[in-house]
Amino acid sequence: MTLIEKARKGIITDEMKAVAQYEEIDPASIRDGIAGGTIVIPKNKLRTFKYIRGIGKGLRTKINANIGSSPYHMDVDEELEKLNAAVRYGADSVMDLSLGSELIKIRRQILKASDVMIGTVPIYQTAFELSAKRKDITEMSMNDFLATVERQAKEGVDFMTIHAGVTMEALQAMERQKRVLDVVSRGGAFLIAWMRKNKRQSPLYEFYDDILDVLASYDVTISLGDGMRPGAISDATDRAQITELTCLGELAQRAWDKGVQVMIEGPGHVPLNMIQENVEIQKALTNEAPFYVLGPLVTDIASGYDHIAGAIGGTLAAYYGADFLCYVTPSEHLRLPTVDDVIEGIIASKIAAHAADLAKGMDYAVEMDRRMSKARKDLNWDLQIKTSIDPVKAKRYRDASEIGEHEECTMCGDYCAIKKIRESEG
């Protein structure tokens, strides 16, 4: 039985208990959320790892870090360093998006080393293996793809992004739409190339049930990829995106019917005024499946600072109900992220998740902010630093100032409002 099947039978598993403990929620509500499809606990039945996390309705907002090599830069040790940095700074999951000849080796190392759930996008491996045989992705057979899914499932991957909603219908909607920036999803681009060349429906849609059978047998969670996600503000919430999303609702239902847990992936580049509607339409069309958004980025022009553009969009998305934020690093649109980029991306994403949970009134977040503000009132610097989202940087900043033995900070010095008020209370 898969986790969702156990939940439907009323069973509370160890995974559900672990999540319930972390969230400080009754285990029965976790079970009910899983049975109803509003919560997932991505965990391959062959894998064990330290931080079991749930994603979905009523739970803390979770964050994901994408790592992995590029064909132009492959370094196992560096990817492991990124993994460790991401987890140390608070990632709830890591996706290994490695491309290039080292991808299998890197994935295995990451699966071995990771304390958090691991996700992948199997079509990348299929594409690589075809190209190693001097074949193009457009020559992919369903068996090629299924073999990759099975291989990765056997290795222990906890969730997989599968772009089964990139259908002929979505492609036609995209073509008729005349987008500014067509398709920016790698998986989406592969499938479009395949459909255009073969002039037939995507095999991932056509043989979707076969994919689900493999996933079910390892209890891998499916993350329904959004190959049509807007890559430009001008393209946000257009007919291509919504055509695909409508299909993802159908595919989610079919996954549940097969006992497979489901998340829905979402955009992308979305202006601030469209974020609420993007979350609400996803929830409506997919029976409230957990929503996993990339950013969203609230502007196209923040190259070098897309972690900030993503934190702005992510906070609002999570506040309106997105459950899982994929970080964006300062490298986005420019290059493969470095370890430092990963850290900056995770922290920005963590600020977004925390600020959204705070706005939703979640106890853990309210308590954390209150602790910080009390520490500020007491000019208790050790506690302020400890309570900071990144104690290392907070300490470095304070230490780098010329504060000496003073109890305030160099911003106001002796004119510190907190000190003044304290004195005036006499």
Site for a copy of itself in 26-65 (CB under 8 A): none
SS3 324: strand
Structure tokens at 182: 């067509």
Contacts of 295 (CB under 8 A, 6+ apart): 267, 268, 269, 270, 306, 309, 310, 313, 314, 325, 326, 328
Angle at which helices 142-155 and 208-218 cross, to 10°: 10
List residues bridging with 325 in a β-sheet: 63, 293
What gap in Å lies between CA 47 and CA 256, rounded to an integer? 22
Site for a copy of itself contains 176 (CB under 8 A): no
Which member of 110, 308, 322, 326 binds a copy of itself (CB under 8 A)?
308
Maximal CA-CA distance, the chain:
82
**Span 100-139, contacts to a copy of itself by CB under 8 A:** 100, 124, 127, 137-138
The 214-233 site mask, x for binding a copy of itself (CB under 8 A), equals -----------------xxx
Which member of 49, 360, 379, 383 binds a copy of itself (CB under 8 A)?
360
Site for a copy of itself contains 384 (CB under 8 A): yes
Site for a copy of itself contains 325 (CB under 8 A): no
Only segment of 40-48, 49-57, 107-115, 312-320 that touches a copy of itself (CB under 8 A): 312-320
Only segment of 206-214, 241-249, 250-258, 303-311 that touches a copy of itself (CB under 8 A): 303-311
* Nearest CB to a copy of itself, comparing residues 43 and 354: 354
What gap in Å lies between CA 226 and CA 224, rounded to an integer? 7
Is residue 324 within 8 Å of 291, Cβ to Cβ? yes
Size of the site for a copy of itself (CB under 8 A): 110
Is residue 176 within 8 Å of 216, Cβ to Cβ? no
DSSP 46: T
DSSP 60: P
**Span 66-85, contacts to a copy of itself by CB under 8 A:** 70-73
* Nearest CB to a copy of itself, comparing residues 144 and 300: 300
The 238-277 site mask, x for binding a copy of itself (CB under 8 A), equals -------------------------------x-xxxx---
